[in-house]
């Protein structure tokens, strides 16, 4: 089961200035005029318009290119031909969700759950969709039905943990995640979240959970980042830096590793290395305002005030002169003792 978990958030900078628009909206459809794979499938479908296998292949191809309306059209046609294809409902629900049609996503999974009451994967998908839409009570009800039929289902306990965590019941969340790992010791996400929860409580047991995740998947960037993040906040800076280096050897475009490493180098007063990290972040992700903000701060710490202020100006331009970002810059400059402030 592919859980849509949120990415690890940075502790150093928790600023989120993007406003949320909850009004229904349709994601802009991408147009592909010369896609070989889709064109080949379209020619085959033209000859066999009711071939559900071809329709599913083309729907997946459209989905991979974020052409959700076209994928939805194929999947609805497929379901008209074969209403017992559970996978078609799952993908259709994903397409609705990814194109900001959450109500239709939920309705699709509710219909699928009614059609396939004994299909555990479908029921788990329904509980996941309910969880994503903050319908925690409904999600838990669905999970309880799953556990009534399959009392050792690790993924069901994992979903239960996610819901309890979202509801602020960390005691039951920890119990659920621990039960999930008892039934499936390779459930990496459960180990990571246990580490996150115990770490937020200041409990050193967190390290054991992160190390369990590392034993299972020590080359996965999300696992490495989670553990490095814990280490950097618990005084093991050099070990954290080693892990961030490893992350960027695996994925050179993993921006958060450059960002966190750069901040740690500032703390170590290694300004050349800090500059290098933020400079790489600006190169691989020119739209990331953190790169310019911190690179500018490092330049000012080195006495290159004019260059630093240009970077900070770029940062503010990227954020449309956001006031919260300005406040963040002021606080960082004050904390680091920068006299010639930008603001």
| pLDDT bucket at 343, cuts 50 / 70 / 90 | low
In this prediction, residue 192 carries a pLDDT of: 98
Tens-digit pLDDT profile for residues 39-61: 999 999 999 999 999 999 999 99
Tens-digit pLDDT profile for residues 118-135: 999 999 999 999 999 999
In the chain, what are the domains? 36-116 (1.25.40.10), 252-343 (1.25.40.10)
Q: What is the C-alpha to C-alpha distance for residues 297 and 195, in angstroms, rounded to an integer?
A: 32
User: What percent of the chain stands above pLDDT 70?
Assistant: 89
Name the average pLDDT for the chain.
Answer: 91
Instruction: Yes or no: say if 175 and 168 are a contact pair by the CB < 8 Å rule.
Output: no
Instruction: Yes or no: say if 226 and 244 are a contact pair by the CB < 8 Å rule.
Output: no
| pLDDT bucket at 223, cuts 50 / 70 / 90 | very high
Tens-digit pLDDT profile for residues 18-34: 333 444 444 444 444 46
| pLDDT bucket at 341, cuts 50 / 70 / 90 | low
pTM of the model: 0.82
| pLDDT bucket at 237, cuts 50 / 70 / 90 | very high
Q: Is the pLDDT of residue 211 over 50?
A: yes
In this prediction, residue 338 carries a pLDDT of: 86
Tens-digit pLDDT profile for residues 315-326: 999 999 999 999
In this prediction, residue 148 carries a pLDDT of: 97
């Amino acid at each position: 089961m592919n859980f849509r978990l949120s990415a690890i958030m940075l502790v150093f900078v928790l600023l989120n200035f993007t406003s949320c628009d909850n009004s229904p909206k349709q994601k802009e459809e991408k147009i592909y005029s010369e896609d070989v794979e889709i064109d080949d499938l379209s020619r085959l479908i033209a000859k066999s318009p009711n071939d559900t296998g071809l329709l599913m292949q083309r729907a997946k191809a459209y989905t991979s290119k974020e052409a959700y309306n076209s994928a939805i059209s194929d999947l609805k046609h497929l379901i008209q031909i074969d209403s017992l294809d559970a996978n078609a409902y799952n993908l259709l629900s994903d397409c609705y969700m990814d194109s900001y049609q959450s109500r239709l996503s939920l309705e699709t999974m509710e219909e699928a759950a009614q059609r396939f009451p004994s299909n555990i994967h479908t029921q788990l998908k329904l509980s996941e969709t309910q969880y994503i839409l903050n319908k925690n009570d409904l999600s838990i009800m669905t999970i309880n039905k799953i556990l009534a039929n399959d009392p050792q289902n690790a993924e069901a306990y994992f979903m239960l943990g996610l819901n309890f965590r979202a509801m602020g019941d960390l005691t039951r969340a920890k119990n659920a995640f621990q039960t999930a790992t008892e039934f499936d010791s390779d459930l990496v996400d459960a180990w990571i979240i246990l580490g996150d929860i115990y770490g937020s409580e200041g409990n050193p047991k967190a390290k054991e959970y992160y190390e369990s995740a590392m034993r299972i998947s020590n080359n996965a960037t999300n696992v490495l980042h989670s553990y490095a993040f814990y280490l950097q906040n618990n005084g093991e800076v050099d070990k954290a830096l080693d892990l961030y280096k490893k992350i960027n050897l695996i994925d050179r475009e993993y921006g958060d590793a450059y960002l966190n490493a750069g901040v740690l180098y500032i703390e170590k007063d290694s300004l050349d290395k800090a500059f290098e990290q933020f400079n790489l972040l600006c190169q691989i992700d020119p739209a990331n305002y953190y790169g310019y903000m911190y690179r500018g701060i490092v330049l000012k710490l080195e006495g290159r005030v004019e260059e630093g202020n240009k970077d900070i100006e770029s940062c503010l331009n990227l954020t449309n002169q956001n006031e919260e970002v300005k406040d963040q810059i002021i606080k960082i400059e004050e904390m680091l003792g920068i006299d010639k402030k930008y603001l």
